[in-house]
């Protein structure tokens, strides 16, 4: 080989090597799934796949949302549900209109003052068992939204859901562990029969068939929401309530109605952020937090820098302060939501933030507004036409009250635990004494569920996201939003930023693992009391970017997944 040929060969090998390196090295280890058509992102891959199946049938995002919501009752029973409630945002592309759907569980209406005193004084009774459950809203919320905005017949949508429940699912490691950690399952015979084998939680890889749940799906496919609220399913619910001392009666079920309303919104650095109105208190925390942060420049900061994290924590703390006192069901309390999420309120609160000193919780007073249960699940869906659903719903605790209505497979929520039973106690200042969320029959309790939709400066759809996590939800969603808007991260990077949470009136700043020791020391020097936390939330998100539609299922909880339509 000549000298010239050797040089050419070396140059070829070098260029080829460089090309391979540039091909296999990515800017980030977190890779969104990219598509150009419909997309479903949920906390269980099998349920995402069912949503995709509906889109491939010609269904729209609303059709897919019904199927995913029902499917998760099989695949993710600790949070997916028919016996709970939630909040949903629906964006209709043709009309460029967003609708908020409140299908939050409601307190039964027939409760007396003695019942209130019983619940106030018996903590476990409002957490576990038949007395713990509010009137479920999930079925009415999903089906009435489908009646208004869906395309496909309900029977067609529910066929794959019925098939999934009948054939069963293989118990995952996560489901096995969740069953083992939900003590209330042991208190209910029907639940124990479903989720236990030979006295132990159903083992990993066990085929868990759900024939009673399949029956429930068939009844709903046949008779719609009437089956659940007045028909065959309602009769089973009422019978079980009577036999077990529960509060829900036939009239409570018959009278339940979801509420359709306009979203609340703010702008953040020229982006429009839409969220659910009260009783969605988490939405108020998120919007107020964004408004406060907008008073500070982040151009010279990084998402994990101590300076930004300090501002983030201070904004969060103030948002939680306002929702702790003045958030509740707007049909029972005049929620000052416009004031809470106003730019004026945010500016006033931002002026009290010191750049290098944490604000003690007792230095913040929610009354200044007038002086100037982590087991939820979220899914995001977009169809080929740009219609969107951002839905968060819950049973309250993991597996809710632990109660399964015999013959139906339906787990019930424990939302009676979410009212402010300490209202009127002058020694209590936290949200257990909230005037807005005090207990009243028929009322819907405040919730931190925070489904959102974000539009860019040109009013084009940009982000769909939400999270489970109870009080941690606003922080998880805020972290994703600021990661994308302030720091131009891709969806995977923004999702996997280590998270932090600062509540009010609590002292500790909770942080996931992943922050540098130097950062933690700086935060401590500012006066923050640090507390290491387990993972926070599980955002399921879709971002519309220059690359198309990016979907990312949070890695914090296993088995989540993205399903995309292939053109």
Tell me the catalytic residues. 376
CB count within 10 Å of CB 179 equals 25
Q: In what order do the strands lie in the sheet with 33-35?
A: 33-35, 548-553, 540-545, 461-465, 452-455, 271-275, 264-268
CA distance 351 to 354: 8
Q: What is the DSSP letter of 262?
A: P
CB count within 10 Å of CB 385 equals 13
CA distance 198 to 259: 43
Among residues 430, 434, 556, 445, the alpha carbon closest in space to that of 492 is found at 556
Tokens of 71: 């499917």
Q: What is the DSSP letter of 276?
A: P
Cα angle for residues 72, 127, 82 (degrees, 5° grid)? 25
Contact partners, residue 441, CB within 8 Å, separation at least 6: 107, 108, 109, 110, 111
For residue 523, the SS3 value is helix
Q: Could you tell me the maximum CA-CA distance found in the chain, to the nearest angstrom? A: 100
Pinpoint the alpha helices (H) of 25-153: 45-56, 61-75, 113-121, 138-149
In terms of Cβ atoms closer than 10 Å to its own Cβ (0-12, 13-18, 19+), residue 422 is middle
CA distance 459 to 479: 22
230 close to 223: Cβ distance less than 8 angstroms: no
CA distance 83 to 73: 9
């Amino acid at each position: 080989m000549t000298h010239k040929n050797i040089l050419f060969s070396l140059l070829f090998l070098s260029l080829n090597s460089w090309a391979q390196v540039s091909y296999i090295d990515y800017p980030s280890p977190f890779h969104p799934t990219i598509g150009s058509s419909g997309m479903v992102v949920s906390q269980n891959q099998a349920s995402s796949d069912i949503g995709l199946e509906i889109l491939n049938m010609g269904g729209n995002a609303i059709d897919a949302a019904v199927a995913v919501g029902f499917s998760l009752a099989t695949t993710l029973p600790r949070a997916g549900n028919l016996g709970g409630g939630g909040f949903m945002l629906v964006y209709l592309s043709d009309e460029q209109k967003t609708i908020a759907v409140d299908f939050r569980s409601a307190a039964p209406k027939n409760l007396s003052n003695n019942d209130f005193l019983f619940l106030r004084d018996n903590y476990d009774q409002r957490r576990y068992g038949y007395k713990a459950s509010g009137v479920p809203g999930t079925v009415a919320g999903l089906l009435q939204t489908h009646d208004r905005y869906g395309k496909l017949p309900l029977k067609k949508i529910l066929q794959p859901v019925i098939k999934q429940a009948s054939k069963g699912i293989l118990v995952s490691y996560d489901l096995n562990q969740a069953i083992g950690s939900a003590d209330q399952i042991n208190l209910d015979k029907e639940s124990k029969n479903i989720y236990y084998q030979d006295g132990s939680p159903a083992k990993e890889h066990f085929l868990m068939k759900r024939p009673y749940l399949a029956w429930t799906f068939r009844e709903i496919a046949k008779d719609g929401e009437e089956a659940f609220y007045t028909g065959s399913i309602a009769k089973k619910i009422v019978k079980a309530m009577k036999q077990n001392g529960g509060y829900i009666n036939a009239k409570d079920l018959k009278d339940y109605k979801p509420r359709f309303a306009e979203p609340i919104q703010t702008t953040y650095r020229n982006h429009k952020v839409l969220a659910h109105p009260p009783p969605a208190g988490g939405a108020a925390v998120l919007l107020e937090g964004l408004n406060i942060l907008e008073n500070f420049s982040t151009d010279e900061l990084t998402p994990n820098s101590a300076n930004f994290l300090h501002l983030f924590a201070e904004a969060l703390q103030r948002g939680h302060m306002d929702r702790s006192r003045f958030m509740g069901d707007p049909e029972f309390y005049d929620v000052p939501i416009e004031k809470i999420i106003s730019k004026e309120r945010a500016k006033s609160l931002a002026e009290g933030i010191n750049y290098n000193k944490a604000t003690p919780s007792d230095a913040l007073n929610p009354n200044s507004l007038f002086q100037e249960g982590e087991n939820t699940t979220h899914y995001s869906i977009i169809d080929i036409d740009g219609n969107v659903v951002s839905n968060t719903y819950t049973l309250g605790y993991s597996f809710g009250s632990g109660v399964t209505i015999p013959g139906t497979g339906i787990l019930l929520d424990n939302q009676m635990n979410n009212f402010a039973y300490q209202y009127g106690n002058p020694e209590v200042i936290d949200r257990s004494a909230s005037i807005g969320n005090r207990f009243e029959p028929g009322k819907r309790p405040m919730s931190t569920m925070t489904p959102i939709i974000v539009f860019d400066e040109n009013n084009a759809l940009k982000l769909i996201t939400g999270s489970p996590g109870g009080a941690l939800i606003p922080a998880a969603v805020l972290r994703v939003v600021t990661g994308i808007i302030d720091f131009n991260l891709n969806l995977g990077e923004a999702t996997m930023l280590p998270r932090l949470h600062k509540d009010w009136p609590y002292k500790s700043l909770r942080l996931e693992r992943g922050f540098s020791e130097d950062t933690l020391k700086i935060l401590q020097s500012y006066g923050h009391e640090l507390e290491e936390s387990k993972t926070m939330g599980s955002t399921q998100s879709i971002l519309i970017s220059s690359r198309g539609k990016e979907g990312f299922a949070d890695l914090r909880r296993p088995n989540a997944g993205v399903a995309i339509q292939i053109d």
